[in-house]
Amino acid sequence: MSLEGIRVIDLTRIIAGPFCTQLLADQGAEVIKIETTKGDPLREQGEKVHGLSWYFASYNRNKKSIVIDLRSPEGKNVLEKLLRTADVLVENFRPGVLDAMGFEDEVLKKSNPNLIVCSISGFGADGPYANRPAFDFIAQALSGFMSVNGERDGPPLRSGLPISDMVVGLYGAFAVSSTLARNTIGKKAGFRRIDVSLTDTMISLLSFQAANFFATGNSPMRSGNDHQLVSPYGIFETNDGLLAIAPSNNETYKKLLTALNLESLSKDKRIDSNRKRMGNRSLIRKLIEPVLKSKNSAYWIEKLNAAGVPAGPILSIPEVFEDPQVQHREMAVNIDHGPRGSVKMLGFPIKFMGEATYNPNAAPELGEHTVEVLQNLKFQEDEIEQLLKKSIIKQYSANNQE
Amino acid sequence: MSLEGIRVIDLTRIIAGPFCTQLLADQGAEVIKIETTKGDPLREQGEKVHGLSWYFASYNRNKKSIVIDLRSPEGKNVLEKLLRTADVLVENFRPGVLDAMGFEDEVLKKSNPNLIVCSISGFGADGPYANRPAFDFIAQALSGFMSVNGERDGPPLRSGLPISDMVVGLYGAFAVSSTLARNTIGKKAGFRRIDVSLTDTMISLLSFQAANFFATGNSPMRSGNDHQLVSPYGIFETNDGLLAIAPSNNETYKKLLTALNLESLSKDKRIDSNRKRMGNRSLIRKLIEPVLKSKNSAYWIEKLNAAGVPAGPILSIPEVFEDPQVQHREMAVNIDHGPRGSVKMLGFPIKFMGEATYNPNAAPELGEHTVEVLQNLKFQEDEIEQLLKKSIIKQYSANNQE
């Protein structure tokens, strides 16, 4: 495992932050999640089985959970000791909250001069919106993503997934691991504080929409399933459903015509260049859809791909996990959660060829590892007893849970 | 720069691969892009200014370009020598193509026993679809993303951005850098080959949609701008436009009512729980939208955020780059490209607090660094002359360009 031996202290909750630390855990880091006595609010969201939210379980697999009251000086002392032993701290409080808790950069640096701190926020650590409350939807709206997502004549549309939470989590994990990698070339990174936001990271994905706007000043429009640079491209009907076809260039367009037995169209003056085809999308559809409708999707997927034309089904979520390729790639895994049962969750998409399949460990119960972690920090048994008695820390036991 | 001193050999084209290596370059790696004499096809896509595609420039900033004919033994020899000096090789050929070129794992490993190879493909290196041609749209369709993106009553919808290209690029950069980081704990990673696909990485983002399906067996549906777990949530009209509002929980819902002077609604039995509100979305809209319509968006953004309710504008792409927060965060940068002029492109969203702003270098002309790179590999001047004469390599010069 690539990040084996790396210790991450995880002060994050909900999705963006926990996804970031899940990625680090999935690459082998030891992630110690610090929770309040109430626990990460995600423990109460989404569908539960045997009292366990599978949404929570999925984002918190492979982590340890310890419960500390960080408002108390004794609790802060535990965190400070943990940070001394850590490589990374990840947090997604609103900017300034960590400082207000007494963990300003100077304090963090003093505890651990090589600590890498990754702060995840809605809009970044500075600037006029820094203190606004953050939410995926707002970042999708502010970043311009929604302005180009949706039907041509419909309203701006959010993504069906909390995409900005995912994207900032990925950027955070990349930023942390590339900073860790600095040490490979013999230069300690020293104390560094990474500042990534939902909004900035979404903006960074605007790709050709931004490039073409910068180059021309023209505002990109929503275009539904039509690609703004290529035609034909989109969803077409077959005799048993819908098919996604994406011939990306002229050469592939010709392969498509051949596969459809429509070679004659290559000489049709109305559609003999990509530019003309972009202006004649409905004509193209009228010419090729009748042929597609003569056979089923499976037939065309086989035939078009063999001809070198990217084509595939549009799968619902249940269909995704029945697909032979997705099953082959083990993109759903079952993880034993003891008395909570076996939890099905998404697989890890980073595969290493020739290496064994990676099977994550279960998500932790709230405070499952509190005593174990404190013992490893060399807290004495009587100190731990005192902290438990004063409710500064809490240890999970099967008896005190619903 | 975190990855300073890391050398990446880049055999990628178009978007997914070049985005991966752009991320590595933006973190300081030296990226040597190997192109054919025709060059990366992206050089010809998107809007051009002074003959330069700004789409290409954006994804290839900070890289060196060398032109080698990899079909010739002499060209393969140059690549082999480069790999000996490299830490990472990134490629997005179809699975098997690198092998067919003579660069099987055994050969790569022999050249460089510590090389990290990152292979990016549509469906992964193995499984029944491994050899299908790949395209972002097909991965969006196959991964289930499109099935949950779109209007409630509309068709499955692709994202307005080439989202799977972006996401796999991010995963690739994370996978490479976390594997590089392995060395920080004193264990050489050895030869490793990373295998990431557009489809797998998109599936990994299905988050609550997948978790709830796994837990209940119910297939998630498209829900337009409505959140499947929260209400109210969405786009609302003000007196001068649209406003995105996302109160994420009961507490924030109460803050919203207070800010709207609608506290009395908190006792309305029809909508006094999130569950009831989810079933009564149109009633909620009818109750709160008239108040929102009494003032403009700027008023409500100020007021709601101050009250702790996430709210923001839905910006078009031009508006994004006029926004004061986006400007403060330097999410658009101007990079001098000499005779091609100054190119505006997206900024890098990973910021390091207290460190200077990062300014990327220009994207390379096709073959701009060929001779320089070969000289550094200790090729003799007469060898280089021979390779140029035989068109095995090509060096850019301002005179031989259009």
CB spacing of B351 vs A195 below 8 angstroms: yes
pLDDT band at A401 (very low <50, low <70, confident <90, very high): low
pTM above 0.90, yes or no: yes
Cβ–Cβ contacts within 10 Å for residue B228, how many? 17
User: B46-68: per-residue pLDDT in tens?
Assistant: 999 999 999 999 999 999 999 99
Q: Which residues of B touch A55 (CB under 8 A)?
A: 207-208, 211-212
% residues pLDDT > 70 (chain A): 97
> DSSP letter string over A96-158?
THHHHTT--HHHHHHH-TTPEEEEEESS-SSSTTTTS---HHHHHHHTSHHHHSS-TTS----
**Per the domain annotation, does B136 fall within a domain?**
yes
Of A10, A26, A87, A165, which residue is the catalytic one? A165
Q: Which residues of B touch A196 (CB under 8 A)?
A: 349-351
pLDDT band at B357 (very low <50, low <70, confident <90, very high): confident
Same domain? B163 vs B243: no
Q: Which residues of A touch B354 (CB under 8 A)?
A: 105, 193
- Residue B336 structural domain: 7-205+330-400
Total number of domains in chain B: 2
How does strand A311-313 pair with strand B332-336? unpaired
**Per the domain annotation, does B116 fall within a domain?**
yes
* C-beta of residue A27 within 8 angstroms of C-beta of residue A174: no
Residues of B annotated as catalytic (active site), given as ranges: 165
Q: What is the pLDDT of residue A37?
A: 95
Same domain? A107 vs A132: yes
CA–CA separation, B356 and B302 (whole Å): 31
User: Per-residue pLDDT for B340 more than 50?
Assistant: yes
User: B108-155: per-residue pLDDT in tens?
Assistant: 999 999 999 999 999 999 999 999 998 999 999 999 999 999 999 999
Same domain? A285 vs A378: no
With CA atoms as reference, the chain B residue closest to A180 would be: B181
User: B287-315: per-residue pLDDT in tens?
Assistant: 999 999 999 999 999 999 999 999 999 99
Same domain? B238 vs B165: no
The CATH number covering residue B78 comes to 3.40.50.10540
pLDDT band at B183 (very low <50, low <70, confident <90, very high): low
CB spacing of A353 vs B105 below 8 angstroms: yes
Same domain? A64 vs A194: yes
Average of per-residue pLDDT across A178-201: 84
Same domain? A378 vs A247: no
Q: What is the pLDDT of residue A402?
A: 44
Q: Which residue among B259, B286, B318 closes a domain?
A: B318
Q: What is the pLDDT of residue A357?
A: 83
Average of per-residue pLDDT across A104-131: 96
With CA atoms as reference, the chain B residue closest to A162 would be: B207
Closest approach of chain A CAs to the CA of B262, in angstroms? 21
CA–CA separation, B219 and B221 (whole Å): 6
Q: Which residue among A263, A293, A318 closes a domain?
A: A318
**Per the domain annotation, does A215 fall within a domain?**
no
User: Per-residue pLDDT for B399 more than 70?
Assistant: no
CA–CA separation, A126 and B82 (whole Å): 42
pLDDT band at A184 (very low <50, low <70, confident <90, very high): low
Alpha-helix residue ranges (DSSP H) falling in B279-350: 281-292, 297-306, 317-320, 324-328
Sheet with A7-10, edge to edge strand ranges = A393-394, A63-68, A30-35, A7-10, A88-91, A116-121, A192-197, B351-352
DSSP helix/strand/coil, A285: helix
Closest approach of chain B CAs to the CA of A223, in angstroms? 7
Q: Which residues of B touch A329 (CB under 8 A)?
A: 123-124, 126-127, 197, 199-200
**Per the domain annotation, does B146 fall within a domain?**
yes
* C-beta of residue B118 within 8 angstroms of C-beta of residue B93: no
Average of per-residue pLDDT across B360-386: 97
Q: What is the pLDDT of residue B187?
A: 61
Same domain? B353 vs B270: no
Q: What is the pLDDT of residue A358?
A: 84
CB spacing of B312 vs A352 below 8 angstroms: no
User: Per-residue pLDDT for A8 more than 60?
Assistant: yes
Instruction: Pick B191 or B182 by higher pLDDT.
Output: B191
B333 has which bridge partners? B345
In the A/B pair of chains, how many CB contacts fall below 8 A? Answer: 504
Same domain? B84 vs B190: yes
DSSP state of A190: -
**Per the domain annotation, does B184 fall within a domain?**
yes
Average of per-residue pLDDT across A296-308: 97
C-alpha A230, offset from chain centre: 28
Q: Which residue has the tokens 């400007």?
A: B327
**Per the domain annotation, does A275 fall within a domain?**
yes
**Per the domain annotation, does A220 fall within a domain?**
no
Same domain? A368 vs A294: no
Over chain B, what is the mean pLDDT?
95
Closest approach of chain A CAs to the CA of B332, in angstroms? 9
**Per the domain annotation, does B201 fall within a domain?**
yes
List of residues 6+ apart from B306 with CB closer than 8 A: none
Mutation site, B2, B13, B97, B103, interface A, largest A CB count within 10 A: B2
Closest approach of chain A CAs to the CA of B10, in angstroms? 18
Candidates A137, A108, A25; CA nearest to B353 is A108
Closest in B58, B171, B173 to A349, CB measured: B171
The CATH number covering residue A249 comes to 3.30.1540.10
Instruction: Pick A53 or A189 by higher pLDDT.
Output: A53
Closest in B140, B146, B196 to A350, CB measured: B196
Phi, psi of A262 (to 5 degrees): -125, 30
User: Per-residue pLDDT for A150 more than 70?
Assistant: yes
Q: Which residue among B274, B290, B318 closes a domain?
A: B318
Same domain? A252 vs A175: no
Same domain? A313 vs A334: no
> DSSP letter string over A55-92?
HHHHHHTTEEEEEE-TTSHHHHHHHHHHHHT-SEEEE-
Same domain? B307 vs B344: no
DSSP helix/strand/coil, A245: strand
C-alpha B115, offset from chain centre: 24
Q: What is the pLDDT of residue A267?
A: 93
Mutation site, B158, B254, B309, interface A, largest A CB count within 10 A: B158
Q: Sort A107 into a burial class: Cβ within 10 Å, 0-12 / 13-18 / 19+.
A: middle
Q: What is the pLDDT of residue B227?
A: 86
Over chain A, what is the mean pLDDT?
95
Q: What is the pLDDT of residue B402?
A: 44
Q: Which residues of B touch A192 (CB under 8 A)?
A: 352, 355
User: Per-residue pLDDT for B189 more than 90?
Assistant: no
CB spacing of B193 vs A124 below 8 angstroms: no
Closest in A165, A175, A181 to B184, CB measured: A181
Q: What is the pLDDT of residue B186?
A: 55
pLDDT band at A188 (very low <50, low <70, confident <90, very high): low
Closest in B156, B196, B309 to A133, CB measured: B309
User: Per-residue pLDDT for B400 more than 70?
Assistant: no
CA–CA separation, A177 and B174 (whole Å): 7
